[in-house]
Structure 1
Amino acid sequence: MRSLFLALAVLFLSSGCSTLQADTTQRVNLLKAGDLSDTQAYVKHWQTPQTTIAQITSVDAPKDINHYLQVNTGNEVRRHYGYIGQKATVKPNTLYTVKAMLRSESKDNGFVQIKRYKDGKETQRFNIGQSDGPRWKTLTDTFNSGDTQIIEILLRWNARQSYLNQTVDFAKVSLIEVGPAPTESASYEPVAIPTFHSVGLYWKPKEAAADNPCTVAYRKNGEVDWKQAMPLWLDPNDHAFPATRHSGEYRGSIVYLEPATQYEIQLTLTQTNTTQTFTTTTWDENFPIAKRIQIPDGNDTLNIEEGGDSKNGYVLYEPAPGATGIRDAQNKHAVNISVYASYVIIKGFKLKNAGQHGIDLRDVQHVIIDDCDISGWGRVRDVDGYGENLNSAIHSRSSKLQTIVIQNCNLHHPRSDSNSWNQKRVNGSKHPEGPQGISFVHGKGQYVIRYNKIHSDIDHMYNDGMGELHNFSFGGFPNRDSDIYGNYVSHCWDDGLEIEGANMNVRVWDNYIDMTYGAIGAASPSLGPVYYFRNVYGVSRKHEGMTQNDLRGHYLIKLGNENPIWTAGKMYLFHNTALQPPTFEGDKHYQSSGAQSGIVFTSKRKTASNITSRNNLIHTRHDNNWAIRDTQITPSNDFDYDMYIGKVMAREGAQKNGVRARPLYERASDGRLWLKPGTPGHDAGELLPNFNDDYTGKAPDMGAVETHSVTPKPKLWPAFPEEPKLPQPTIEVPK
Structure 2
Amino acid sequence: MRILGVVIILVTIPLTVLLAVKGVQFRSQAAGFSALTSTFKSISVYAPYVSGSPTLEYKKTSSSTWLPAYPPYVDGTSEIRGSIVGLTPNTPYDVRLTVGGIVYTGAISTKNDQLSFGTGNTYYVATTGSDSNSGTSAAPFKTIQKAANTVVAGDTVKIKTGTYVEKVTVSKSGTSGNPISFANNGDGEVIISGGSSCASSNLTNNFLIESQNYVRISGLTAKNASEAAIRINGGGNHIIDNNKILDWNCADLEDQLRAGVAAWNGAKNLWVLSNTISRTAKNTLMGDGFWTKNTGDSTGGGHIIAKNTIIGAYDAVGSEPEDTTYGGVHKDADIYENTVTNCNDDGIQPEGGNTNVRVWGNKITSCMLGVGMAPTKKGPLYVFRNVIVDSRPRWTAGQGMFKLGDYTTGRIYVFHNSYYSTNGADGFKQSNTQLGNMVSRNNSVYSSRYAIETTSHNGLPMDFNYDLLYTSDTSRFVKWNNNNDYTDLAKFQATGQETRGIQANPKYVNPSGGDLTLQSGAPGIDKGQVLPNFNDANSAWAYTGTAPDMGAFEAGGATPPSDTTPPSVSITSPTNGATVSGTVTLAANASDNVSVAKVEFYLDGSLKSTDTSSPYSYSWDTTTTINGSHTLSAKAYDALVNVGTSSTVSVNVNNQNTQVLTFTPTDDATIVRDFPYKNFGSLSALVADGYPRRNFLVKFLVSGVTGRTVVSAKLRFYCFEPAIVGGIFYRTTNDLWKEGTITWSNAGATTTKVATLGRVAAGKTYDVDVSAFIKGNGILSLAIATPSADGAAYYSKERGGVYVPKLIITIQ
Give the TM-score category using the shorter length: 0.5 to 0.7
The equivalent of 1:273 in structure 2 is 101
Deviations 1:589-611 (A, max 9, x none): xxx34x621113225xx112210
Structure 2 vs 1, CA of residues 321 and 574 (structure 1 numbering), >3 Å: closer, same or farther? closer
Structure 2 vs 1, CA of residues 321 and 692 (structure 1 numbering), >3 Å: closer, same or farther? closer
The equivalent of 1:555 in structure 2 is 400
The equivalent of 2:703 in structure 1 is none
Name the SS for the 2:33 alignment partner.
strand
- The one-letter amino acid paired with 2:173 is G
Deviations 1:666-698 (A, max 9, x none): 469x98432234331111000000001200111
Name the SS for the 1:335 alignment partner.
coil
Structure 1 residue 470 corresponds to structure 2 residue 311: no
Structure 2 vs 1, CA of residues 489 and 464 (structure 1 numbering), >3 Å: closer, same or farther? same
Deviations 1:323-361 (A, max 9, x none): 531111111210001123311211011111011111011
Distance 1:446 1:388 in 2: 24
Structure 1 residue 614 corresponds to structure 2 residue 485: no
Name the SS for the 2:94 alignment partner.
strand
Distance 1:295 1:718 in 2: 26
Structure 2 vs 1, CA of residues 387 and 488 (structure 1 numbering), >3 Å: closer, same or farther? same
Distance 2:333 2:551 in 1: 23
On the 8 A contact 2:242/2:275 being kept in 1, the answer is yes
Structure 1 residue 393 corresponds to structure 2 residue 249: no
The equivalent of 1:642 in structure 2 is 467
Structure 2 vs 1, CA of residues 267 and 3 (structure 1 numbering), >3 Å: closer, same or farther? farther
Q: CA deviation at 1:283?
A: 0.2
Query: Unpaired runs of 5+ in structure 1?
Result: 9-186, 237-246, 420-433, 457-461, 581-591, 720-735
The equivalent of 2:269 in structure 1 is 403
Matches within 5 A, 1:395-434: 395-399=262-266, 401-419=267-285, 434=286
Structure 2 vs 1, CA of residues 576 and 634 (structure 1 numbering), >3 Å: closer, same or farther? farther
Structure 1 residue 338 corresponds to structure 2 residue 183: no
- The one-letter amino acid paired with 2:97 is L
The equivalent of 1:496 in structure 2 is 347
On the 8 A contact 1:474/1:526 being kept in 2, the answer is yes
Task: Specify which of 284, 298, 312 is matched with residue 164 of structure 2.
Answer: 298
State the percentage of identical aligned residues: 29
The equivalent of 1:676 in structure 2 is 519
- The one-letter amino acid paired with 1:192 is L
Structure 2 vs 1, CA of residues 402 and 633 (structure 1 numbering), >3 Å: closer, same or farther? closer
The equivalent of 2:247 in structure 1 is 376
The equivalent of 1:201 in structure 2 is 45
Q: Provide the TM-score with structure 2 as the length reference.
A: 0.55
- The one-letter amino acid paired with 1:273 is G
Q: CA deviation at 1:222?
A: 2.0
Distance 2:256 2:351 in 1: 17
Deviations 1:633-680 (A, max 9, x none): 845010111101242344821011100011123469x98432234331
On the 8 A contact 1:505/1:529 being kept in 2, the answer is yes
Q: How many residues align?
A: 473
Structure 1 residue 518 corresponds to structure 2 residue 369: yes
The equivalent of 1:220 in structure 2 is 60
The equivalent of 1:41 in structure 2 is none
Q: CA deviation at 1:4?
A: 9.3
Name the SS for the 2:283 alignment partner.
coil
Name the SS for the 2:206 alignment partner.
strand
Name the SS for the 2:403 alignment partner.
strand
Distance 1:671 1:469 in 2: 30
- The one-letter amino acid paired with 1:333 is L
Distance 1:618 1:487 in 2: 21
After TM superposition, the runs of 4+ consecutive aligned structure 1 residues lying more than 6 A away are: 1-8, 716-719
Distance 1:351 1:232 in 2: 41
On the 8 A contact 2:517/2:559 being kept in 1, the answer is no
The equivalent of 1:314 in structure 2 is 179
Distance 1:718 1:701 in 2: 26
Name the SS for the 1:366 alignment partner.
coil
The equivalent of 2:229 in structure 1 is 358
The equivalent of 1:572 in structure 2 is 413
- The one-letter amino acid paired with 2:202 is K
Name the SS for the 1:638 alignment partner.
strand
Query: Unpaired runs of 5+ in structure 2?
Result: 1-22, 119-154, 196-200, 472-476, 482-494, 537-541, 562-593, 596-637, 642-812
Name the SS for the 2:229 alignment partner.
strand
Name the SS for the 2:345 alignment partner.
strand
Structure 2 vs 1, CA of residues 295 and 679 (structure 1 numbering), >3 Å: closer, same or farther? closer
Distance 1:188 1:259 in 2: 25
Task: Specify which of 482, 485, 488 is matched with residue 333 of structure 2.
Answer: 482
Matches within 5 A, 1:181-196: 189-196=33-40
Name the SS for the 2:164 alignment partner.
coil
Q: CA deviation at 1:394?
A: 0.4
Distance 2:557 2:398 in 1: 30
On the 8 A contact 1:377/1:414 being kept in 2, the answer is no
Q: CA deviation at 1:712?
A: 6.9
The equivalent of 1:27 in structure 2 is none
Distance 1:679 1:376 in 2: 42
Structure 1 residue 455 corresponds to structure 2 residue 311: yes
Q: CA deviation at 1:416?
A: 3.4
Task: Specify which of 552, 557, 560 is matched with residue 709 of structure 1.
Answer: 557
The equivalent of 2:75 in structure 1 is 235
Distance 1:254 1:619 in 2: 29
The equivalent of 1:699 in structure 2 is 547
Structure 2 vs 1, CA of residues 614 and 359 (structure 1 numbering), >3 Å: closer, same or farther? same
Q: Provide the TM-score with structure 1 as the length reference.
A: 0.61
Distance 2:105 2:256 in 1: 47
Distance 1:444 1:275 in 2: 31
On the 8 A contact 2:409/2:460 being kept in 1, the answer is no
Distance 2:409 2:255 in 1: 32
- The one-letter amino acid paired with 2:429 is V
Q: CA deviation at 1:414?
A: 4.9
On the 8 A contact 1:615/1:701 being kept in 2, the answer is yes
Distance 1:628 1:596 in 2: 10
On the 8 A contact 2:27/2:109 being kept in 1, the answer is no
Distance 2:417 2:94 in 1: 30
Task: Specify which of 638, 647, 653 is matched with residue 496 of structure 2.
Answer: 653
- The one-letter amino acid paired with 2:193 is D
Distance 2:276 2:334 in 1: 18
Distance 1:308 1:718 in 2: 32
Matches within 5 A, 1:143-162: none
Structure 1 residue 597 corresponds to structure 2 residue 426: yes
Aligned Cα RMSD in Å?
A: 2.8
Distance 1:712 1:599 in 2: 23
The equivalent of 1:685 in structure 2 is 528
Name the SS for the 1:417 alignment partner.
coil
Structure 2 vs 1, CA of residues 295 and 302 (structure 1 numbering), >3 Å: closer, same or farther? farther
Q: CA deviation at 1:287?
A: 3.2
Distance 1:535 1:717 in 2: 16
Q: CA deviation at 1:295?
A: 2.7
Distance 1:315 1:555 in 2: 42
Distance 1:352 1:468 in 2: 22
- The one-letter amino acid paired with 1:523 is A
The equivalent of 2:452 in structure 1 is 627
